[in-house]
Structure 1
Amino acid sequence: MLNRVVLVGRLTRDPELRYTPNGVAVANFTLAVNRAFSNQQGERDADFINCVIWRKQAENVANYLKKGSLAGVDGRIQTRSYDNNEGKRVFITEVVAESVQFLEPRGSSNSNQGQGFGGGSPGFSGNDFGQQNQNQNQNRPSGGFNDDPFANDGKPIDISDDDLPF
């Protein structure tokens, strides 16, 4: 039997961190994952997938991820049910994450605003990347052999998607 899930998406809200009565950390979050195809209007739909992670990783997720953060989740699907206050059976399907990868540098999760969840290139836009390099290079002495030959002057990098190895 095999039950394995691998997802890449953006958090739709800040993770919710709680502790069990025994002191075990558990975090819940929802990932918006774009579908591989467009709908009839030419737009990409997204699936909103509930995830849960336990223990130290739950604390890390709560501390370092926030709404809009790009994350990769590796885990398994789990279903459970309970009876609500009205006596109706409620079924829940969620991904129990075994690991969560933070897929972009801290603080850059909103670089794709306006493009929807996961739209465009994940992580950096050309202007953000150039600005980061420019800020980093302001504190370095120039003229040494450690100068970054790939640093630019704050302008977007001109490279086509065909030149990228991924």
Structure 2
Amino acid sequence: MSSIKNHVQLIGNIGHDPTITNLENGKKVARFSLATNEHFKNAKGEKQTETSWHAIVAWGSIVDIVEKYTEKGKEVGITGKLKTRSYTDKDNQTHYITEVVADEILLLGSKPDKA
């Protein structure tokens, strides 16, 4: 059970083309947003959709998959873990960011038409 203490599974659509950064140490990192939708009925019985946005970070061989096969709008499945980091801005204010660090990506939906 210890392996599922910090485990996230999401299926959604990529919100913007992934940003790939080449680091000085030769490693690459991919960052993108993922939109997930929850469907429900409100008190009046009307269908509603609530969209949540998640910051995704990928390292290692996953970056190659993200770089070659994903783009804005692509439906993907992500498994990973939550990680919170902080930084201090120029006004000396601390900001906290919670991200999903991807362990695995699954390409879903139809294949894109490549001309």
Fold match (TM-score > 0.5)? yes
For structure 1, list consecutive stretches of 5 or more residues without a partner in the other structure.
109-166
TM-score w.r.t. the length of structure 2 is 0.86
Q: Which has the higher helix share?
A: 1
The secondary structure found in structure 1 opposite 2:62 is helix
Please say if 1:3 is aligned against 2:6: yes
- Of the structure 1 ranges 86-95 and 31-40, higher mean CA displacement relative to structure 2 is found in 31-40
Please say if 1:59 is aligned against 2:51: no
For structure 2, list consecutive stretches of 5 or more residues without a partner in the other structure.
none
The secondary structure found in structure 2 opposite 1:43 is strand
- Contact kept? 2:39, 2:48, Cα under 8 Å: no
Q: Which segments of structure 1 move beyond 4 Å, counting only runs of 4 or more?
A: 38-41
Structure showing greater Rg: 1
Q: Deviations over 1:8-34 (max 9, x none)?
A: 000011111001210111000111001
Work out which structure has the larger RCO, using CA pairs closer than 8 Å and 6 or more positions apart in sequence. 2
% identical aligned pairs: 32
Q: Does the C-alpha gap of structure 1 residues 69 and 38 become closer, same or farther in structure 2, counting only changes over 3 Å? A: farther
**Alpha-carbon RMSD:** 1.6
TM-score w.r.t. the length of structure 1 is 0.61
Q: Which has the higher strand share?
A: 2
- Contact kept? 1:13, 1:67, Cα under 8 Å: yes
> How many residues of Structure 1 are paired with residues of Structure 2 in the alignment?
108
